[in-house]
A and B are shown apart, each in its own frame.
Chain A
Amino acid sequence: MNDKKPTSLLYLDGVSVSFDGFKALNSLSFVIEPGELRAIIGPNGAGKTTMMDIITGKTRPDSGDVFFKGDIDLTRRDEAEIAQLGIGRKFQKPTVFESHTVWDNLELALNRRRGVFAALFYRMTAEDEARIEEILSTVRLSNRRNDLAASLSHGQKQWLEIGMLLAQEPELLLVDEPVAGMTDAETAETALLLKEIARTRSVVVVEHDMGFIRELGVKVTCLAEGSVLAEGSIDFVSADQKVIENYLGR
């Protein structure tokens, strides 16, 4: 069991958590390798969001191990610390700073010193500007830079949030239902965007949209009732009898 820890980027072993007697996660174990793009599927209540809460420090598990980059124990750290360690998270509902411009949203996300006084006396450097420009073009928002985030469309907000995660320069990106509510064209572009991002870092995508996951063409983990039901290629998983019963069949 321990021999896996040093090489994997994220390592979950036997993680359980319950809320008021309801077991949200039941001895969940899986491993993400550096540079991997992984899709996670599962019916409602399978524990997908709880799993993200545990990895990002929002919820503490009742039992089990969560290690990042081999030996960093994530169960002992809070959200801000885990974010600084290099784990970025995109929420299900796009969450950006609506009363700031697109540019300011990225400026705040930029991976710089996070202290109060560092922020108070921060000055934009040419290097930071170039980095923001680069991200703006990656997430296709260059021409909206001076607009308030509140004025963006739903899909553009999702991209802005992904852009903010990129600015954070995480090693692991957790993305919760990135294409919910997107048009088909936007969904296809988002798949491209995520694949592009996964070239330089690991990405975990939670998604319901099977078409989108097929488009990503990656290893899939199916969760149900708080533990792993099946793992493998999309065709392998969708042929699995238990997965059909629990998820696809319904």
Chain B
Amino acid sequence: MITSFLLKSFDRTVIVAVGIILGLGLLIPALNLLTAPDHPLHVPTYLVSLFGKYLTYALLALALDLVWGFCGILSLGHAAFFALGGYAMGMYLMRQIGARGSYGNPLLPDFMVFLNWKELPWFWYGFDMFWFAALMVVLVPGLLAFVFGWFAFRSRVNGVYLSIITQAMTFALLLAFFRNDMGFGGNNGLTDFKDILGFNIQADGTRAALFAASAVALAAALVMTSGMVRSKYGKILVGVRDAESRTRFLGYRVEHFKLFAFTVSAMMAGVAGALYVPQVGIINPGEFEPGNSIEVVIWTAVGGRGTLIGPIIGAILVNGGKSIFTAAFPEFWLFALGGLFVLVTLFLPRGIVGTAQAWRAKRKEYRKAADDEAVKGMAAAEPLAAE
């Protein structure tokens, strides 16, 4: 059952994309670790972490694409699931600091000592164990998405109304996480991490391993989503997107189909956030900023929603552009981003990959038509030859 599911998920594009992602996952760490710093092909560690960050963004965009591109749910709150996954990982990293914090308290993270707290809040229990934190990375966003989706989809909240409440959700979390007494470090968030699974988080080897882990996670998510959208489930999802009432009158419980996609997508976003935090070294409430979720929508739209590799390409391109642009003309970046979104919506409504696919399909059709024409021409020519 599982194997047939996985077999279905591979087509040429996905195999090539998975190959490239895993190849990069090996190549970039190798170029970082195995070449001398003055070697022309050497990749400095800061770039490894930067590229690793792009990969986690790509995973987030892929997660959004599953619900937006294939099911028509425009979530403007996906960064919230990303940030929750990030916080779960951040809590693990905080507890790894142990007595090495500025206050030297073996149990309490610095900000709790500073706030004069005497004991660890109950929701910080268990985060000293990696497996527990890893579980929370998927469970917390998944549970929030499940509960949120349960009410929203059951009451048939659709379209722009749903987008607005997802935006409200991330804003509410932003406000909550800003508060010191929530117990997540307030404004400053969680930072000053020391090590992960016993390895120094600043070390080149750890950075390289985190990059490789991000690549593996992205490749695995691509295979999984590909399997999902190619199955009958995925076809129904597209059916919900294009003609929701038809799906309902065929006897499908549309809300269950949406809920499943939404929950899986939130879990993927959580994993992306968990890989993001150790690579950038900090998680703070700013990650819940409504603007962040909207940026994810732009990456996905630029790359091509409803295609699987589109959002991956979009996330990497836009963020690469952002890194270069904000270094060169920092004050113009937001104008560039806004302009990009307007231009893509107007001239490339299917995004880069969607447009390329449509163009290829057209060319194929044209060629087929030309072949048919040629066959007809030959058939017409034959009687003449017989004469």
Chain A residues near B (Cβ < 8 Å): 56, 79-81, 83-84, 88-89, 91, 95-100, 104, 107-109, 114-116, 119-123, 164, 168
Contacts and interface: CB of A to CB of B under 8 A. Distances in A.
Contacts of A80: 248, 251-254
A178 to B, nearest CB: 15
A44 B51 CA distance: 62
Contacts of B253: 80, 114
B243 A96 contact: yes
Interface in B91-140: none
B239 A116 contact: no
Nearest to B252: A114
8 contacts: A81-B251, A88-B249, A96-B243, A99-B238, A100-B235, A100-B238, A104-B235, A121-B231
B235 A120 contact: no
Contact of A122 (B228, B231, B254, B256): B231
Q: Which of B238, B251, B252 has the most CB of A within 10 A?
A: B251
B246 A97 contact: yes
A156 to B, nearest CB: 16
A84 B231 contact: no
B326 interface: no
Interface string B159-189: 0000000000000000000000000000000
Nearest to B257: A116
B233 A120 contact: yes
Interface string B247-267: 111111110110010000000
A148 to B, nearest CB: 10
B48 to A, nearest CB: 36
B232 A116 contact: no
A68 B298 CA distance: 49
CB-CB nearest 3 A-B residue pairs: A83-B251, A119-B233, A122-B232
Contacts of B243: 95-98
Contact of A115 (B242, B245, B256): B256
Interface string B343-360: 000000000000000000
B233 A116 contact: yes
Contacts of A115: 256
B364 to A, nearest CB: 13
Contacts of B228: 120
Contacts of A116: 233, 256-257, 260
B153 to A, nearest CB: 12
A79 B249 contact: yes
A84 B251 contact: yes
B104 to A, nearest CB: 51
A98 B242 contact: yes
Given A95-B245, A96-B246, A107 B232 contact: yes
B325 interface: no
A16 B239 CA distance: 33
Contact of A89 (B4, B235, B238, B249): B249
Contacts of B256: 115-116
A224 B342 CA distance: 51
B239 A120 contact: no
B1 interface: yes
B341 interface: no
A88 B102 CA distance: 69
Contacts of A119: 231-233, 236, 257
B154 to A, nearest CB: 10
A83 B248 contact: yes
Nearest to B244: A95
A147 to B, nearest CB: 12
A120 B231 contact: yes
Contacts of B10: none
A123 B249 CA distance: 22
A79 B248 contact: yes
Nearest to A100: B235
Nearest to B259: A116
Contacts of B249: 56, 79, 83, 88-89
A239 B247 CA distance: 41
Q: Which of A107, A114, A116, A164 has the most CB of B within 10 A?
A: A116
A153 B66 CA distance: 31
Contacts of B233: 116, 119-120, 122
Nearest to A123: B4
A81 B243 CA distance: 18
Interface in B253-299: 253-254, 256-257, 260
A89 B246 CA distance: 9
Q: Which of B236, B243, B250 has the most CB of A within 10 A?
A: B250
Contacts of A109: 250
A131 to B, nearest CB: 15
Contact of A164 (B5, B242, B248, B250): B250
A121 B5 CA distance: 6
Given A80-B252, A104-B235, A120-B232, 18 more contacts: A80-B248, A80-B251, A95-B245, A95-B246, A96-B243, A97-B243, A98-B243, A100-B238, A107-B232, A108-B232, A108-B247, A108-B250, A114-B252, A116-B257, A119-B233, A120-B228, A121-B5, A164-B250
Contacts of A89: 249
Contacts of A99: 238, 242
Contacts of B242: 97-99
Contacts of B232: 107-108, 119-120, 122
A81 B246 CA distance: 14
Nearest to A174: B249
Given A119-B232, A121-B4, A122-B231, A100 B250 contact: no
A100 B5 contact: no
Given A97-B246, A120-B5, A114 B238 contact: no
Given A83-B250, A83-B251, A108 B245 contact: no
A164 B249 CA distance: 11
